[in-house]
């Protein structure tokens, strides 16, 4: 297991990049702790695979270094990095049995037969395949084959890191939940450094201790699920995490007051003078519908989504979504929305601004 350091890293697929726009991965410095479970989350094209390929050794970055522990592996081939990888689609040997597939990475390294049997048994239990160990992989469903790939990725205990690239794409939804839970349990047990690439926020938030949110070639935030929810550092994080995402409205901010089109919005803390495009962001969970004072809103739709309901509305400042807690009805005549002041974040040119007074 190893700490992974990305030192002044950047990558362009062009031979002579001119500006930032030419970089698929913009300059970044990060340390990913030894034993951490990280999810790399972001929309298609944001640079997740590029970063993963640099860590795994499939790609040499055009700038900067990758360290595993203290060792510079920037130019080391994949085979020399001592990592395990699980890809989007199954990579199994059809002519081998499930047992032989799972044992392969261990036998390959000359592990003792007793250990191989014990370890394969543990992993087979975990992926729910203990009763089909002697079946040939050929003829198994794509789902089952991908479980073997996951098992193979996790069978070695001595790897520097395990990299997962959208590994649950072909797994059916029920099994997805189960495997995610198993992966998490396995992480607790063995504390491998794990990096899990996904564009699915549920997958990222349930798997990871730290979620690394990428947008347009940058890591815009690296934080716990709670941090991403409470204090999105970039408007993209606010918008991308949560269902629905954060409400973001253009505003003018003066001290502890924001003015949006149609109302004044009290803030929990004060702010220094701001420049650039100023916005406030507040999650639908911290908005409430009232008939008293507040930002005038016209409710356009109420959606039932199981445990709670989502009210969708239009204000002069833009669209606002409100999450109604379980059992709460939409009050007749309610035509204002108010925001919990201490839950309102302030942004300048998309980046969160720390309050001038009090805690950040
Ligand atoms: N081999 C390549 N040559 C040139 N450009 C590439 C190459 N691979 C990726 N890119 C570009 O680099 C950017 C980042 O792509 P990347 O595949 O890393 O994103 P991603 O977040 O993994 O997306 P997806 O989820 O769709 O795989 C994109 O603009 C993409 O078009």
Residue 186: its pLDDT value, please?
A: 81
Look up residue 44 and give its two tokens. 């298609």
Taking CA atoms only, the protein residue closest to ligand 1 atom 4 is: 13
Q: State the helix-helix crossing angle for 98-107 and 142-154, rounded to 10 degrees.
A: 20
Residue 178: its pLDDT value, please?
A: 81
Instruction: State the DSSP H helix or E strand holding residue 68, giving kind and residue range, or none if neither.
Output: strand 63-68
Average pLDDT over residues 208-227: 96
Ligand 1 atom with the shortest distance to the CA of 14: 4
Cis peptide before 116 (omega within 30 of 0): no
Residue 359: its pLDDT value, please?
A: 43
Residue 100: its pLDDT value, please?
A: 98
Residue to probe by mutation, ligand 1, list 50, 53, 215, most atoms within 8 Å of CB: 50
The C-alpha atoms of residue 297 and residue 317 are separated, in whole angstroms, by 10
**Residue 102: CB atoms within 10 Å:** 26
Average pLDDT, the chain: 93
Given a cut of 60, whether residue 194 has pLDDT beyond it is: yes
Is it true that 4-11+24-239 and 246-352 share their CATH fold? Answer: no
For 71-80, which contacts have Cβ atoms below 8 Å and span 24 or more sequence positions? none
Q: What are phi and psi of 160, to 5 degrees?
A: -70, -35
Residue to probe by mutation, ligand 1, list 22, 48, 168, most atoms within 8 Å of CB: 48
Q: What region does 35 belong to: left with phi over 0, alpha with psi -120 to 50, or beta?
A: left
Say if ligand 1 is within 6 A of residue 49 CB. Answer: yes
Given a cut of 60, whether residue 240 has pLDDT beyond it is: yes
Say if ligand 1 is within 6 A of residue 15 CB. Answer: no
CATH number of 4-11+24-239: 3.40.50.300
Residue 29: its pLDDT value, please?
A: 96
Say if ligand 1 is within 6 A of residue 13 CB. Answer: yes
Nearest to 201 by CA among 36, 43, 45: 43
Given a cut of 60, whether residue 273 has pLDDT beyond it is: yes
| Tens of pLDDT, residues 257-269 | 999 999 999 999 9
What is the chain's Cα-based Rg? 24
More confident residue, 168 or 284: 284
Ligand 1 atom with the shortest distance to the CA of 47: 18
Question: For residue 177, what pLDDT band results from cuts at 50, 70 and 90?
Answer: confident
Average pLDDT over residues 170-195: 84
Distance linking the first and last C-alpha atoms of the chain: 34
Residue 328: its pLDDT value, please?
A: 83
Q: In what order do the strands lie in the sheet with 351-352?
A: 247-250, 278-282, 345-348, 351-352
> 3 C-alpha to center of ligand 1: Å?
25
> 47 C-alpha to center of ligand 1: Å?
6
Average pLDDT over residues 332-344: 95
Ligand 1 atom with the shortest distance to the CA of 25: 14
Residue 219: its pLDDT value, please?
A: 96
Given a cut of 50, whether residue 360 has pLDDT beyond it is: no
Average pLDDT over residues 36-56: 95
Q: Which residues contact 31 (CB under 8 A, 6 or more apart)?
A: 3, 4, 5, 6
Question: For residue 153, what pLDDT band results from cuts at 50, 70 and 90?
Answer: very high
The C-alpha atoms of residue 190 and residue 1 are separated, in whole angstroms, by 10
Residue 183: its pLDDT value, please?
A: 84
- Tokens 């805690």 identify what position? 359
Length of the chain: 360
Concatenated DSSP letters for 283-352?
-GGGEEEESSSSEE-EEEEEEE-SSSEEEEEEETTEEEEEEEPTTPPPPTT--EEEE-GGG-EEEETTEE
Domain boundaries, the chain: 4-11+24-239, 246-352
SS3 label, residue 43:
coil
Say if ligand 1 is within 6 A of residue 44 CB. Answer: yes
Look up residue 59 and give its two tokens. 């790609």
> Under a CB-based contact definition with an 8 Å cutoff, are residues 32 and 21 in contact?
no
Question: For residue 357, what pLDDT band results from cuts at 50, 70 and 90?
Answer: low
Taking CA atoms only, the protein residue closest to ligand 1 atom 26 is: 44
> 286 C-alpha to center of ligand 1: Å?
36
Question: For residue 316, what pLDDT band results from cuts at 50, 70 and 90?
Answer: very high
Average pLDDT over residues 61-78: 97
Q: What percent of the chain has pLDDT over 90?
A: 82
CATH number of 246-352: 2.40.50.140
> 50 C-alpha to center of ligand 1: Å?
6
Say if ligand 1 is within 6 A of residue 219 CB. Answer: no
Give the lowest-confidence range in 7-11, 61-65, 290-294: 290-294
Given a cut of 60, whether residue 137 has pLDDT beyond it is: yes
């Amino acid at each position: 297991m190893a700490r992974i350091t990305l030192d002044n890293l950047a990558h362009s697929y062009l031979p002579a990049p001119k500006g930032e726009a030419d970089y698929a991965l913009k300059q970044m410095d990060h340390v990913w702790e030894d034993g951490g479970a990280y999810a790399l989350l972001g929309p298609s094209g944001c640079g997740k695979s590029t970063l993963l390929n640099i860590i795994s050794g499939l790609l040499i970055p055009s700038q900067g270094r990758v360290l595993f522990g203290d060792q510079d592996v920037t130019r080391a081939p994949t085979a020399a990095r001592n990592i395990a990888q699980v890809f989007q689609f199954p990579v199994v040997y059809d002519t081998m049995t499930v047992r032989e597939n799972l044992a392969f990475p261990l036998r390959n390294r000359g592990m003792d037969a007793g250990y191989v049997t014990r370890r394969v048994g543990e992993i087979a239990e975990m992926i729910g395949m203990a009763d089909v160990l002697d079946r040939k992989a050929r003829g198994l469903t794509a789902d089952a084959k991908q479980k073997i790939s996951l098992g193979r990725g996790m069978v070695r205990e001595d790897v520097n890191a395990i990299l997962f690239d959208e590994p649950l794409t072909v797994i059916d939804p029920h099994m997805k939940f189960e495997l995610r839970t198993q992966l998490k349990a396995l992480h607790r047990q063995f504390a491998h450094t794990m990096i899990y690439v996904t564009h699915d926020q549920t997958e990222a938030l349930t798997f990871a201790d730290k979620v690394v949110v990428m947008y347009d070639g940058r890591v815009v935030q690296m934080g716990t699920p709670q941090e991403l929810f409470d204090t999105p550092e970039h408007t993209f994080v606010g918008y991308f995490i949560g269902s629905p995402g954060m409400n973001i409205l253009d505003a003018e901010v003066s001290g502890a007051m924001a003015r949006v089109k149609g109302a004044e919005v009290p803030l929990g803390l004060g702010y220094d003078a701001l420049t650039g495009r100023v916005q406030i962001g507040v999650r639908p969970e911290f908005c409430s519908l009232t008939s008293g004072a507040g930002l005038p809103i016209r409710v356009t739709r109420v959606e039932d989504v199981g445990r709670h309901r989502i009210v969708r509305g239009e204000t002069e400042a833009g669209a606002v979504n409100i999450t109604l807690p379980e059992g709460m009805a939409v009050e007749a005549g309610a035509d204002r929305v108010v925001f919990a002041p201490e839950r309102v974040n302030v942004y300048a040119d998309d980046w969160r601004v720390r309050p001038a007074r009090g805690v950040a």
